[in-house]
Amino acid sequence: MNELTLKWTEAGQSRTQTLNDQHPTKHPGTIRIGRDPTRCDLVLSHPTVSGLHIEIFFNQTKHNFYLRNLRETNPPIINHQKLITGELPLNVGSHLQLGQQQLEVVAVSLSPFLIPPTRLFLPDEAIEIASVNPNPVQYGLQCPKCDRISSYQQLNSGCPWCGTSLAAAISVVLSTEH
């Protein structure tokens, strides 16, 4: 599990919140932060924070947490730079400013990036298999996020549709009929 811990002071009290990429949220795959409790997973009470201000998500392909701005008129400031559009990576020590509310990333814990073991054939075994079955079964990878099927060549570059890492993808049999 991948986790990120934020720390801030609200109403004179120090607060911390650990966010992770497996926790069920109101908008799956992201943790939304703002003042509106009906739309946000982490609610901040400072009046300068927008109702729906930012979202934090784990980018499987880049294996890191990122922040995305959700308010053009009240953009967050990340490490003293306004983020009008796009997204920025978050690391330990990243400073966030939402309106006048200051937050800091105090911890990031990332699971090891693992590729499942693959059965490799020795050259003689491959020749033997090809002679028994001249039309071998073709396999693909089913994206764990969007369920689309990609070729094994996409394993290291991720899903071509949504960018999700295919390291945890399910191997599926592809139809040989066209």
- The pairing of strands 30-34 and 42-43 is parallel
pLDDT digits (tens, 9 = 90+) for 120-160: 544 454 445 455 555 556 677 888 888 888 876 766 777 77
DSSP-assigned letters across all residues of 102-130: EEEEEEEE---------PPPPHHHHHHHH
Question: How confident is the model over 49-65, as a mean pLDDT?
Answer: 91
- Band (177; pLDDT cuts 50, 70, 90): low
pLDDT of residue 145: 83
Among the four given CATH numbers 3.40.50.960, 3.30.1360.170, 3.40.190.10, 2.60.200.20, the one describing domain 2-110: 2.60.200.20
Per domain, the residue ranges of the chain are 2-110, 138-174
The answer to whether residues 4 and 18 touch, using CB atoms and an 8 Å cutoff, is: yes
Cα 102 to the center of its chain, rounded Å:
24
C-alpha to C-alpha distance for 35 and 49, rounded to whole angstroms: 6
| Choice between 71 and 44, residue whose per-residue pLDDT is larger | 44
Q: Share the mean pLDDT of the chain.
A: 82
pLDDT digits (tens, 9 = 90+) for 93-125: 999 999 999 999 999 988 876 555 555 544 454
The answer to whether residues 20 and 29 touch, using CB atoms and an 8 Å cutoff, is: no
